[in-house]
């Protein structure tokens, strides 16, 4: 694929999206719709595997958007059956930005008791060690993806059926995973013991669906049933329904708090809470913690919009669409000249000059990563005649990399890892920049007492540097953890 537009380089990249359906005619078509709803979680490539009793397993893997590949009647005819799984990818492990088609999931393996396909959202933190061990024992890897380790571990298991082999394999795996897999007759879903990555169950007609988010259930008309619990495995068949197993030692949940801030779509539900409402409440907390005298609250579209609405409501400062996003500016825009490239953010965002001119503007964004986009947006606002620019950020400073399925820059490239708040203000050239506190973020997601520092309720390692799962591969490569306080 062509490179992402510069605007996309300054955001944490969504992990991946998984979706599966059993017990419906032309299941692959439902999976394609589900993946389309999960496109925000991965725009690099996608794949679908289906099974039909007469035709066996069939797969299709393509680079690019779901809409550009899996809407072809000719292609979808090659994926028959009432059971299918799919995956949309953003490369969090393997050859980032140089993905080969062999890296695109779902992965498929043929075992003595039949075939199985697997799609994985997350990151295996001991993948390097596992890969070395498996290769030393004769395994031949086809991809650079950490997820392929699961297939090889399943192949080496001595268990007699595929779900049991998957249990065996996942007990060897460290890190974060939500897995959707399939055999000839079964749809399988598993979450890691800490429940870092999301996975939900839905009911559609006589069948069932598994999805990374509830918004993808909506698109196929499925009823949301519940979240798959941390450490739970569900084995689903069209005739017997859902069997629930708990193969791992119970642990306290540490769901990724950044799903609330940015990754999930605002129309999804997490833990019985509307993501939109949580983001609006983040804006409310942000206004309480970081008041400023201003004339206009303006979101950085689109991810800053709910928080900006909450900030404006709580502060009493009028809300306005001071920046307009060009909805037709895709990631694959051809940038033929240096002059065009230097336009940067302006290809995607344009300032509403009539609204901005002469105003003291509060710009609300979801996060600051490298700060490159924030500087460009500030310049656009000032060029349009704004009197002052105040950044308000709907997450705490992102000062540590994520190793659980999110593509984060190295720590030294994170603005908050190398600068204080005042230094960031001067670096960005704004009148002020303030972030929501970690306690404020926890209150916004429903923890009224804030963060429990002795036993945090969420994974917030990108903000706190406290990793609930030791990133063993990265430690081997020299990564230094936060010193104990």
Q: Which two tokens stand for residue 340?
A: 């065009």
pLDDT for 326: 79
When pLDDT is averaged across residues 194-217 and rounded to a whole number, the result is 97
When pLDDT is averaged across residues 195-220 and rounded to a whole number, the result is 97
Cα–Cα separations (whole angstroms), residue 45 to 72, 90, 97, 127, 485: 16, 7, 11, 22, 42
When pLDDT is averaged across residues 297-321 and rounded to a whole number, the result is 96
Ranking 205-219, 292-306, 328-342 by mean pLDDT, the lowest is 328-342
405 confidence band (pLDDT: 50, 70, 90): confident
| pLDDT tens-digit readout, 286-302 | 999 999 999 999 999 88
Q: End-to-end distance of the chain based on CA atoms, in angstroms?
A: 45
Q: How far apart are CA 356 and CA 385, in angstroms?
A: 7
Q: Is the dihedral of CA 22, 24, 27, 32 positive or negative?
A: negative
Ranking 84-98, 252-266, 387-401 by mean pLDDT, the lowest is 84-98
Q: Decide which of 345 and 69 is more confident.
A: 69
User: Is 402 noted as a catalytic residue in this protein?
Assistant: no
- Residue 210, helix vs strand vs coil: strand
pLDDT for 65: 94
Name the packing angle between helices 372-383 and 421-428 (round to 10°).
50
Helix (H), strand (E) at residue 37: helix 27-37
User: Which of 16, 256, 402, 459 does the annotation list as catalytic?
Assistant: 16
| pLDDT tens-digit readout, 134-180 | 999 999 999 988 899 999 999 999 999 999 999 999 999 999 999 99
Q: What are phi and psi of 139, to 5 degrees?
A: -70, 145
pLDDT for 90: 82
Cα–Cα separations (whole angstroms), residue 384 to 323, 325, 342, 381, 388: 11, 16, 18, 5, 11
Q: Is the pLDDT of residue 197 over 90?
A: yes
Q: What is the CB neighbour count within 10 angstroms for residue 167?
A: 19
pLDDT for 407: 79
Q: How far apart are CA 405 and CA 396, in angstroms?
A: 19
Identify whether 106 is preceded by a cis peptide bond (ω within 30 of 0).
yes
pLDDT for 302: 85
| Residue 481 CA neighbour count, 13 Å, CB half | 16
Angle at 211 (CA atoms; ends 206, 212), nearest 5 degrees: 170
pLDDT for 456: 97
When pLDDT is averaged across residues 84-88 and rounded to a whole number, the result is 98
pLDDT for 329: 55
Map tokens 């996309």 to a residue: 8
Do residues 394 and 283 touch, judged by C-beta distance below 8 A?
yes
When pLDDT is averaged across residues 223-234 and rounded to a whole number, the result is 98
Where residue 354 falls (left for φ over 0; alpha for ψ -120 to 50; beta otherwise) is alpha
Q: Which two tokens stand for residue 190?
A: 């598993």
The per-type count for the chain, helices as H runs and strands as E runs, is 17, 23
Strand 296-299 relative to strand 323-325, pairing = unpaired
Q: Is the pLDDT of residue 201 over 80?
A: yes
Cα–Cα separations (whole angstroms), residue 426 to 15, 164, 375, 404: 32, 56, 11, 32
Reference 229, options 264, 299, 178; nearest CA is 178
Find which of 81-85, 86-90, 262-266 is predicted with most confidence, using mean pLDDT. 81-85
* Nearby residues of 339 by Cβ (< 8 Å), 6 or more positions away: none
Reference 224, options 237, 208, 240; nearest CA is 208
Q: Is the pLDDT of residue 314 over 70?
A: yes
Q: Is the pLDDT of residue 3 over 70?
A: no
When pLDDT is averaged across residues 232-255 and rounded to a whole number, the result is 96
Q: How far apart are CA 89 and CA 106, in angstroms?
A: 10
pLDDT for 346: 66
Q: Decide which of 484 and 30 is more confident.
A: 30
- Residue 239, helix vs strand vs coil: coil
pLDDT for 344: 58
Q: How far apart are CA 332 and CA 339, in angstroms?
A: 17
Q: How far apart are CA 252 and CA 155, in angstroms?
A: 30
pLDDT for 247: 93
Reference 130, options 107, 156, 149, 158; nearest CA is 149
Reference 105, options 90, 122, 87; nearest CA is 87
Q: What is the CB neighbour count within 10 angstroms for residue 472?
A: 17
Ranking 76-85, 204-213, 340-349 by mean pLDDT, the lowest is 340-349
Ranking 105-119, 272-286, 315-329, 414-428 by mean pLDDT, the lowest is 315-329
pLDDT for 264: 95
pLDDT for 95: 45
| pLDDT tens-digit readout, 39-53 | 999 999 999 999 999
pLDDT for 303: 87
Average pLDDT for the chain: 91
Q: Is the pLDDT of residue 358 over 50?
A: yes
pLDDT for 98: 61
Percentage, residues of the chain above pLDDT 70:
91
372 confidence band (pLDDT: 50, 70, 90): confident
According to DSSP, residue 174 is labeled -
Residues in the chain: 485
* Cα 259 → chain centroid: 7
When pLDDT is averaged across residues 81-104 and rounded to a whole number, the result is 78
* Nearby residues of 47 by Cβ (< 8 Å), 6 or more positions away: 59, 60, 61, 62, 86, 87, 89, 104, 105, 106, 119
pLDDT for 96: 46
Cα–Cα separations (whole angstroms), residue 64 to 70, 89, 96: 10, 9, 15
**Letter string b/e over residues 298-308, b meaning 16 or more CB atoms within 10 A of that residue's CB:** bbbbebbbbbb
Q: Is the dihedral of CA 116, 248, 86, 185 positive or negative?
A: positive
Write down the H helix ranges in 366-445.
372-383, 415-418, 421-428, 438-444
């Amino acid at each position: 694929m062509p490179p992402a537009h510069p605007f996309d380089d300054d955001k944490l990249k969504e992990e991946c999206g998984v979706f599966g359906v059993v017990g419906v005619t032309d299941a692959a078509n439902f999976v394609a719709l589900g993946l389309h709803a999960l496109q925000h979680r991965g725009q690099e490539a996608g794949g679908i595997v289906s099974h039909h009793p007469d035709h066996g397993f069939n797969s299709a893997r393509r680079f690019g958007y779901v809409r550009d590949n899996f809407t072809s009647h000719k292609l979808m005819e090659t994926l028959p059956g009432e059971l299918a799984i799919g995956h949309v990818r953003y490369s969090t492990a393997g050859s980032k930005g140089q993905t080969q088609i062999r890296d695109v999931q779902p992965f498929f393996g043929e075992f003595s008791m039949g075939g199985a396909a697997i799609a994985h959202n997350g990151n295996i933190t001991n993948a390097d060690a596992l890969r070395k061990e498996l290769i030393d024992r004769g395994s031949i890897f086809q991809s650079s993806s950490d997820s392929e380790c699961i297939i090889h571990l399943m192949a080496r298991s001595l268990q007699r059926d595929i779900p049991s082999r998957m249990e065996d394999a996942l007990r060897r795996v460290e890190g974060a995973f939500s897995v959707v897999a399939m055999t000839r007759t079964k749809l399988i879903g598993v979450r890691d013991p800490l429940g870092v990555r999301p996975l939900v169950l839905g009911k559609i007609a006589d069948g069932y669906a598994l999805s990374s988010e509830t918004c993808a259930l909506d698109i196929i008309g499925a009823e949301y049933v519940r979240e798959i619990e941390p450490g739970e495995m569900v084995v689903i068949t069209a005739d017997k329904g859902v069997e629930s197993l708990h193969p791992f030692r119970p642990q306290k949940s540490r769901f990724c708090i950044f799903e609330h801030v940015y990754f999930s779509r605002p129309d999804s539900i997490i833990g019985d809470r509307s993501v939109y409402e949580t983001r609006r409440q983040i804006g409310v907390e942000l206004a309480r913690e970081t008041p400023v005298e201003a004339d206009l609250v303006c979101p950085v579209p689109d991810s800053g919009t709910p928080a900006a609405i909450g900030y404006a409501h709580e502060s009493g400062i009028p809300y306005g669409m001071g920046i307009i996003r060009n909805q037709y500016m895709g990631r694959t825009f051809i940038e033929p000249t240096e002059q065009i490239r230097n336009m940067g953010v302006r290809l995607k965002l344009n300032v509403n000059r009539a609204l901005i001119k002469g105003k003291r503007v509060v710009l609300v964004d979801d996060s600051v990563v490298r700060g490159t986009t924030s500087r460009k947006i500030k310049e656009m606002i000032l060029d349009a005649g704004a009197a002052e620019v105040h950044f308000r950020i709907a997450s705490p400073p992102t000062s540590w990399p994520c190793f659980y399925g999110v593509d984060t820059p190295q720590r030294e490239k994170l603005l908050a890892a190398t600068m204080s708040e005042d230094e960031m203000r001067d670096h960005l050239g704004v009148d002020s920049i303030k972030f929501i506190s970690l306690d404020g973020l926890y209150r916004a997601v429903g923890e009224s007492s804030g963060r429990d520092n002795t036993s945090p309720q969420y994974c917030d390692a990108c903000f706190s540097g406290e990793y609930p799962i030791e990133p063993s591969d990265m430690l081997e490569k020299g990564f230094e953890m936060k010193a104990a306080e």
